[in-house]
Structure 1
Amino acid sequence: MGSSETVFARTSAALSCLLLFAGLRKPNLNREASKKALEHKKEIDKRLGRPFIQTNPYEGGVEVDIAMRDVGGLL
């Protein structure tokens, strides 16, 4: 293997790794909206006196307040 082939192989491998890592980092097109929603959730949790728990967007949209009196037949 000649010197130029070695340089080409190393350059090709480096470029492949760069493209692989760039492709694996899935771009978040709603990055600003996600940050704003996270800050809003933190403010709501602080205001309600709840601990902040990291959730996904689907879990974050569900809020259920249940007390013992709401559970049928227990009280």
Structure 2
Amino acid sequence: MGSSETVFARTSAALSCLLLFAGLRKPNLNREASKKALEHKKEIDKRLGRPFIQTNPYEGCVCACQSFCFC
């Protein structure tokens, strides 16, 4: 492998890593909606006298399903 091929390979790898990290740090397009939903959830929990527990969407779905289960 020649000197120019090594430089090309390193440059290519560095550019690939840069593009990968830029793609992974893509901004959350629903940031405002997520904040609004979290505030709404806090209000509901306060109104119902429950402690506020922050959950991810999957956990929220499981909790909602458990509250409707009459087992």
Q: TM-score range by the shorter chain?
A: 0.5 to 0.7
* Unaligned ranges ≥5, structure 2: 63-67
Q: Deviations over 1:5-53 (max 9, x none)?
A: 2222112111111222333445432111111211221233234331222
Q: TM-score, normalised by structure 2?
A: 0.54
Moved more, 48-57 or 33-42: 48-57
> Aligned equivalents of 2:23 and 2:36: distance in 1?
26
* Unaligned ranges ≥5, structure 1: 63-71
More helix by share: 2
Q: Which has the higher contact order (CA 8 A, sep 6+)?
A: 2
Q: Which has the larger radius of gyration?
A: 1
Is the alpha carbon distance of 1:3 and 1:40 closer, same or farther for their aligned partners in structure 2, counting shifts above 3 Å? same
Over the aligned positions, Cα root-mean-square deviation in angstroms equals: 4.3
Identity %: 92
Is the alpha carbon distance of 1:4 and 1:45 closer, same or farther for their aligned partners in structure 2, counting shifts above 3 Å? same
> Aligned equivalents of 1:45 and 1:74: distance in 2?
21
Is the alpha carbon distance of 1:59 and 1:52 closer, same or farther for their aligned partners in structure 2, counting shifts above 3 Å? same
Deviation at 1:57, TM superposition (A): 4.3
